[in-house]
A and B are shown apart, each in its own frame.
Chain A
């Protein structure tokens, strides 16, 4: 009973308030400034074509990315496959095999094989480029139902540290990278990071059992931010959390990585600038 009465009073209060405030709003030249900042939903048009190749059986494989350039760190890579007649093939078995050829050796990098997305009309996968093209030559071999084509890639060094290689206390090298695209604002932001390890030069599997503690820091001022939610594992090496940027500028995200309560690395970090 008391609850209902309380509710009624609150409701009455609200009604009176809104009536009275209506008056104030009328007398005041209303000047609501809303700066729209829509989040761009990905469509085929928003992707940038990198290159196009033809397989032996005359299938056309076209490679797309989010930007004109590929950067060190995680990059979404999309391919569109069409047959000789130009019709899209939507059920092919598509594989990515990135490869970096350096003077003395060659290696691949963490990769996620593509899946067909009907909204995009393309196959969407991902590669984490751990070095830029300055130190070698990157290629991407795309396999389509047993055939393959090879793209030459140019990977540019990111402005900030978007991927880091850290050797854990267990002697294994781990790669931590930030999932793009990012559209940072002041305040709370969703964040997704990827963690992979190097098994061999040809194998970089995802790490799915880490506990992550994230601490943002504004290095030039020496302060942090409150209310961050450290990323937790979702699937396939992906960890999602929430990061709080109290102002724009240079931020460093520190990550403490541990596995079964054993600290693997106490200060892996990525750098942000916006």
Chain B
């Protein structure tokens, strides 16, 4: 802690005076979903015409063009980018590294944030200059909402309530912001409760209820015009979360995250911005099988897990001349994972084992990138990252556990690197072309490296880690074109990832499964090669002044070196939306469809085929202002035709929600 505070103080002392910053350089490799427009009039204006606070983070992710979710229950779905998932993508919260504590992947870290505490979600599909770590397929960063300073002293706030008919879900949300000239504070909170939902044809999905509470706070102290200190705190408490696709539910999933940052902005200078953050987060997760019918539980188990990470990053922005915008970043963190399992047989003594044997990973990375506006037509963005890491086991029991299948040194050091070059060529006012190449690499996850009989429901195998796993690397290529005019914007992208040392589970024939009913044991191994390719087409068309059409379409195709279809690869999927504004009313109609996925390999990856589906949603919202209060009411109907459907990445092919009606009310002052 001493070192941390020294760091802050020295940063604060080292950099001094100037004016505020304005130059924001858009990153070509980054797609951003803005949840709240940055506004200086308090938070009530941020939700104008907008009821995103009521949505689940999952719903927001689902509508991003390259994101598909792995569904295990009605809550805490796991995002994949073009089908790449887990360690292949780098998911961060406001630049903070955070790792789920669940051995069954029940708690992707996206489940610990809520739209009410987010400013934006940014998505990268490969290495680029705006990320906070290494990943093959880029990553997601959930940018937390920041309190806004204001010349006048202003207090503003919102409150909301929502109801959803299908799962009898309620939510209550509230937020308050105090803005002053040199100090601002924002606190947001949401409580959600949902019962079991019904799929199409009123088929009840047991064990799909959930309950959660989330609170976040952010405070800004402007030390002077250039320097500010920012404090963030986020707490998310999940309770009794059902996972119909798994054999267990969750009794609690709690996350706490805190950060302190120093922000320096010096507009007009070569070195124009610096952000340094020190953070800590802790996740406590416990699974529960006591709500399941006794005949479905061969043996009662307790499976708690914890994850804690502390780390820092320091991002600096540079401008050289008129044409170079560079970023230099350093980041480091240490993550500790522990997961255990206690089994209670009907007769005999209880049994205990570590499933993640007290593993630790420490990482230090350096990123350098530059955006070069070569001339009026051509711009280039290029950069790279070097990362060193150490993976180890911190307890004697953990090391003893590993002797079961591994005899060598358990401390593994690794050095990985990535590099990218992206070019943009503006043919004329309307047309532009872009293309890029990147070399990406990633460390195996601690589960892939040291996991001990981790059960995978998808292929029904127990998984053993492999400390000797090699770095998974890939060459990524993309090629795209876009057309934009006053009323039309269309963009098409082709992409391909060529993997080396692709990490997948391979059968160990003479091992007996630990989990009762499992088919056998697999161990994570490197496959020589794999390929993932596909395309995305997005567009929007302003049909009339008040009528807009948006479309987002994607397709991925993946196979490994032996031509076996890769798992979790979404088929062709299309999200289309019509938005119509009339006298303060905002209507939207949404059509979502996906093709069948027949390119699967059950034998190797446990993936099964899925059917096509077509879903229609519609909604209307009205916002109005009375005196200094604003109100917004939204009514929507989802899956209007009550279709029975599931998506390809849904585990165990459990049907999604049937028809549901939603009513939201938000009030701002």
Residues of A within 8 A of B (CB): 13-14, 16-18, 20-21, 23-29, 32-37, 185-188, 218-227, 244-250, 273
Contacts and interface: CB of A to CB of B under 8 A. Distances in A.
Contacts of B332: 23-24, 27
Interface stretch (B252-260, B402-410, B598-606): B402-410
B353 A247 contact: yes
Nearest to B366: A20
Interface stretch (B25-33, B204-212, B389-397): B389-397
A28 B341 CA distance: 28
Most buried by A among B363, B403, B404, B415: B404
Contact of B350 (A16, A20, A29, A249): A249
Interface string B408-433: 00000101000000000000000000
22 contacts: A14-B413, A17-B390, A21-B413, A23-B332, A25-B362, A29-B310, A186-B397, A186-B400, A186-B401, A186-B404, A187-B400, A220-B343, A224-B512, A226-B405, A226-B508, A226-B511, A226-B512, A244-B404, A249-B345, A249-B348, A249-B350, A249-B351
B1 A29 contact: yes
A226 to B, nearest CB: 5
A221 B299 CA distance: 9
Contacts of B334: 24, 28
Q: What is the predominant secondary structure among interface residues of chain B facing chain A? A: mixed
B299 to A, nearest CB: 7
Given A185-B400, A186-B354, A250-B351, 18 more contacts: A14-B413, A29-B1, A35-B396, A36-B396, A186-B404, A187-B399, A187-B402, A218-B351, A220-B347, A223-B512, A223-B513, A224-B512, A225-B404, A226-B510, A226-B521, A227-B404, A245-B404, A246-B514
B40 interface: no
B535 interface: no
Contact of B343 (A20, A245, A249): A249
Interface residues of B, number: 49
Nearest to B518: A223
Nearest to A218: B351
A162 to B, nearest CB: 16
B348 A250 contact: yes
Contacts of A244: 403-404
Contacts of A226: 404-405, 508, 510-512, 521
Contacts of B405: 226-227
Given A34-B395, A244-B404, A219 B310 contact: no
A250 B362 CA distance: 37
A33 B395 contact: yes
Given A16-B415, A25-B362, A247 B351 contact: yes
Contacts of B13: none
B349 interface: yes
Contacts of B516: 221-222
A185 B353 CA distance: 11
B365 to A, nearest CB: 9
Interface of B: 1, 3-4, 299, 310, 312, 332, 334, 341, 343, 345-354, 362-364, 388-390, 394-397, 399-405, 413, 415, 452-453, 508, 510-514, 516, 521
A90 B388 CA distance: 61
Contact of B415 (A13, A32, A35): A13
A109 to B, nearest CB: 29
Contacts of B389: 21
A230 to B, nearest CB: 14
B398 to A, nearest CB: 9
A105 to B, nearest CB: 35
Query: Which of A18, A37, A248 has its CB near the most chain B CB atoms (within 10 A)?
Result: A248
A224 B518 CA distance: 13
Contacts of A20: 364, 388
Chain B CB count within 10 A is highest, among A17, A187, A188, A248, for A187
Given A28-B310, A186-B353, A250-B349, A34 B363 contact: no
Contacts of A27: 3-4, 312, 332
- What are the 4 A-B residue pairs with the smallest beta carbon separation, nearest first? A249-B351, A247-B353, A220-B345, A187-B403
A95 to B, nearest CB: 40
A28 B362 CA distance: 9
A245 B348 CA distance: 16
A139 to B, nearest CB: 34
B453 A34 contact: no
A185 B397 contact: yes
B508 to A, nearest CB: 7
Nearest to B312: A27
B401 to A, nearest CB: 5
B342 to A, nearest CB: 9
B352 A249 contact: yes
A185 B521 CA distance: 22
A246 B312 contact: no
A25 B413 CA distance: 14
Nearest to A220: B345
Contacts of A23: 332, 364
The winner among A16, A24, A224 for most chain B CB atoms within 10 A is: A24
B82 to A, nearest CB: 31
B128 to A, nearest CB: 23
B413 A17 contact: yes
A250 B511 CA distance: 19
Contacts of A26: 3
Contacts of B1: 29
Contact of B395 (A35, A249, A250): A35
B396 A34 contact: yes
Given A26-B3, A34-B395, A187 B352 contact: no
Contacts of B511: 226
A17 B388 contact: yes
A246 B453 contact: yes
B352 A247 contact: yes
Contacts of A221: 299, 343, 345, 351, 514, 516
A226 B1 CA distance: 44
B273 to A, nearest CB: 22
A28 B311 CA distance: 8
Contacts of A223: 512-514
B362 A21 contact: yes
A222 B345 CA distance: 11
